[in-house]
Amino acid sequence: MTKHRKHIIPDLEDWPITKFSKDKEAFIERLGEYTFNRIKRQQQLDVNEVLDATVFLENKRTSKNRWKVDPADEKVYWNKIRDVIRKASQAENKEEELDRVLKKIIHRYAVELVGSFNPRTFKFARKFLKAFFSRLYNPRRFFKIINRYGTYEELLSKIKVYGHVDELRNLFSKGTVVVVPTHFSNLDSILIGYAIDSVVGTPAFIYGAGLNLYNTEIIAFYMNRLGTYRVDRRKKNRVYIETLKSMNTLSLIEGVNNLFFPGGTRSRSGATEDQLKLGLLNSVVESQRHCIQQGIDQKIYIVPLITSYPTVLDAGSLIHDYLRGFGKEKYNSPRRKQSLRKIFFNYLKKTRKTDTYMAMNFGKPMDVFGNALNDQGESLDAHGNIVDLSHYFEGLDGTETKVQREYIYTKKLAQNLVRSFKTEKIVLPSNLVAFAALRLIMKQNQETDIFSLLRYSLDQIALEKTTLIMAVEMLMKKLVTMQNAGEIVLFEEMPSSTEVIVEEGIRHLGVYHIHAPLKRISDHILGTDSLDLLYFYHNQMKGYGLEEWFDVEYDQLN
């Protein structure tokens, strides 16, 4: 059962995020100044061109892609700014006037970005999420009058937390902590936040949330009070991007613990991210450099977090988007639209008989360069010697050299995170079953291309259960070898019997979906209602070279 740890800082008023929120207005002013100076330091900068490009892109956005959450005055605002820029560019003190406009735009973005944290709202969210996740992970309790949601211990047994949790807790007294998770579901932020509070026992983190989520008023109300900062991915202009990066950088410099998804968005294919966005990661390196060069005693620590799900609620829309983008004309399947009412009653019907769970593994903490740490939080080189981080930033002449060097550091950090995501991923029974089932279906139908297979009628797909058991047993032997080599992590509660692994995998795989990735046609034959969903769950085992290995091993057995 998951161990429930006491909070390292029991009083919410003492949390760094609470103090940050109380200082919000002053922070916005500091953020504006920090962003302005950051932009002005850039070489070959023409402020007039930057402002013109910003207004052009913002007018384009407000004309073609408006959201409910957008301010009502946006169109008017940007038209006025365009006129102000024109007048400023003709003024005698042109540079001063253009800088004033730049600061005004930065301030608008800063106000939009920076959220708040309200301890009272957080305490309410604790109670609500306890009931919500008890319902989600103990569905059979819903139909009981007494103890409808199950006990707190039952809930904790469904949210399985593994890995370097004690090391993570220890780092809070030594510096600023940045948790960087893999990203598969819209539930990730809520689940991770709940697990960090209820299981790990550390203060909450600020984290970025897509501005589109704020289109729903009730969600916006709570997110605005739970430490989120609002990220608008429609805004591609330079001023906004620099303000967003500065938000991350300055908050880290000031000791605010951060959580962000380095992949940038949810994995559409179902595979663990192997290409990370370097922008936010670079802000981590920049923050450490600033602290060292300004004599600020503030070390920044990175903690990877790898999530594993037997079922992902939004898998259907995700894999549809992936196949449509990757396959283009090869993939012509329409998006299946289903009413919320139908999805809800299907959920009740299926989960009445099946409890589910999720697993998260906190990877080995590292510094911003990917170096390992000792128990005191000091950085270590490959030989176990203590590293002085100031050496990384010595001998840098000129802004361009600094940018190039920090880009290399950021790429190194990204590579270390990708390696951690891969080697510290927890393999669940459903992952094994989905992978083996799709490989077998492709082999039996002599198809090597998923798009060719997707053209098959689902009635043509039939898989003998005994064949699947044989394939999973073969795969398990390979994974045990990989785990012994430190290449992957098998689920601690993995059944010892291959047949039980297959039964558990089938039972949990895509349990919430109306169209089952894998289903029983008879006692001995399996089929599917959705090959694209089965492909999504198959892809959770991608990145280990198992496809080629499996095909060769299967051919040798047959």
Binned at pLDDT 50, 70 and 90, residue 345 comes out as: low
Structure tokens at 386: 């203590």
**Position 143 pLDDT exceeds 50:** no
- Would you give the end-to-end CA distance of the chain in angstroms? 41
Helices (H), 229-306: 238-253, 278-293
Q: Where are the alpha helices (DSSP H) in 304-392?
A: 315-327, 340-351
Instruction: Using alpha carbons, select from 373, 397, 399 the residue that is nearest to residue 387.
Output: 373
pLDDT for 80 equals 95
Q: Rounded to the nearest 5 degrees, what angle is found at the Cα of 355, between the Cα atoms of 478 and 195?
A: 80
The rounded mean pLDDT for the chain is 88
Most confident of 161-175, 345-359, 394-408: 161-175
- The 10 Å Cβ neighbour count of residue 96 is 10
Encoding tokens for residue 536?
């999504």
Place of tokens 């550390």: 202
Q: Which long-range contacts (CB under 8 A, 24 or more apart) does 338-343 make?
A: 338/514, 342/514, 343/514
Query: Using 50, 70 and 90 to split pLDDT, how confident is the model at 137?
Result: low
Is residue 423 within 8 A of residue 417, CB to CB? The reply is no
pLDDT at 149: 44
**Backbone phi and psi for residue 335, each to the nearest 5 degrees, phi listed first:** -65, 130
Check residues 397 and 60 and name the one with the higher pLDDT.
60
> Domain spans of the chain?
116-187+249-277+285-423, 426-557
Dist CA 415 CA 403 (whole Å): 18
Cβ within 8 Å of residue 248, ≥6 positions away? 258, 260, 280, 283, 284, 287
pLDDT digits (tens, 9 = 90+) for 210-263: 887 777 777 778 788 888 888 898 999 999 999 999 999 999 999 999 999 999
477-515 tens-digit pLDDT? 999 999 999 999 999 999 999 999 999 999 889 777 888
CA 55 to chain centre: 31
